[in-house]
Structure 1
């Protein structure tokens, strides 16, 4: 097990005071604004220093443009979401089940467990949605089989 210890860093107030302060002054342990460093664990497993501002990278919403060939869909989603979660949203829009969908980003098919921000998806990036060819073929076979069962007395005259 690794123990991480926070270090306190001190800054000179000379830049904030217009350059009039002394270089060594104001940097003691009791300085205003100096605190413990907070850590956060990112989805990829990386331990990083937590940012102070409310909206850090990986938070908020991004818009992803999804192309189905004939249509474009603009989907708002959190960048820390997975491609599997994007498929679930697309299932509502396209009426394709998530297991019937294949998502491509930058020319590569992405797995359901891949995080959007980890593979580099940013605001208004394009993702291509394809229907899985194996499932498409199974649907076609089932449709032709059902049509053949529906008309058993059909004869072909020559």
Structure 2
């Protein structure tokens, strides 16, 4: 609502404005369709204005007729809310027809010509109902996926504690049973398979990716621990006499590519 102070330079008018260059405060409101009209009021003083009258609207839904008491200046959207409690039909699934024309939820009853005992037809909107059903299924699916990832995360937390325990023992030079390491790897791989079976989008997909990286990291750690656990003293000894191949190239400036002649000499060293 906008309040505009309009200048009134003329004499006193019938609506009570003062003469001699006074001013009056005019309240305006934006109606559906972008029309700017003076706010409806029975008097200049807003506090003294009477409330909008209540009308009875007859709404036909299938074979039933519902009588709804509502303000004459209410919107069709407010009427839908009242009908939702009466019929059990969701507001998004409702289509209201007045004078054989569908009315927008933001349109006002009185502006559309609805009066006391006017008849309105309510029908279901199958398109909206189908959209809402698909959205509900999608949300339920994402909720199940999020719950599954949360359960897997708890299992990974337990396995991570066991990985840390094995790492602590082996890093101090201790030994553990190989089957214990292999069994832990298998349990982690099972969690990885579960994550692979979770179909998700958006934030839930990001949560799944985080858990996959966690599991892969723990499996790599166990692979290294398995190697260290199978070697005495927990480290890999240096190989005696590693095979080294040394290649020496002679540099040629502004010369043709090297051939099989003696221009290019390759010296190879062999080590048993």
Matched, 1:51 2:38: no
Name the counterpart of 1:74: 67
Name the counterpart of 1:40: 27
Query: Unmatched 5+ residue regions in structure 1?
Result: 11-28, 30-35, 141-158
Instruction: Provide Cα deviations, 1:83-128, integer angstroms capped at 9, x if missing partner.
Output: 1111011000000000011000000001111111111111110010
1:50 Cα deviation (Å)? 3.9
Q: How does 1:72-151 map to 2 (within 5 A)?
A: 72-135=65-128
1:39 Cα deviation (Å)? 3.0
1:4 Cα deviation (Å)? 1.4
- From 6, 23, 30, the equivalent of 1:4 is 6
Asked which structure has the greater CA Rg, the reply is 2
- Determine helix, strand or coil for the equivalent of 2:84: helix
1:137 Cα deviation (Å)? 6.4
Are residues 101 and 42 of structure 1, via their aligned partners in 2, closer, same or farther at CA, if it must alter by over 3 Å? same
- Determine helix, strand or coil for the equivalent of 1:113: coil
- TM-score, normalised to structure 1, is 0.59
Are residues 97 and 55 of structure 1, via their aligned partners in 2, closer, same or farther at CA, if it must alter by over 3 Å? same
Contact 1:39-1:50 within 8 A present in 2 as well:
no
Once residues 63 and 111 of structure 1 are traced to their aligned partners in structure 2, the CA distance between those partners, rounded to angstroms, is 20
Once residues 130 and 106 of structure 2 are traced to their aligned partners in structure 1, the CA distance between those partners, rounded to angstroms, is 26
Once residues 129 and 99 of structure 2 are traced to their aligned partners in structure 1, the CA distance between those partners, rounded to angstroms, is 24
Q: CA RMSD in A?
A: 3.2
Contact 1:91-1:97 within 8 A present in 2 as well:
yes
Once residues 49 and 43 of structure 1 are traced to their aligned partners in structure 2, the CA distance between those partners, rounded to angstroms, is 11
**Bigger relative contact order (CA 8 A; separation at least 6):** 1
- Between Structure 1 and Structure 2, which shows a larger proportion of helix residues? 2
Contact 2:58-2:120 within 8 A present in 1 as well:
yes
Once residues 78 and 56 of structure 2 are traced to their aligned partners in structure 1, the CA distance between those partners, rounded to angstroms, is 14
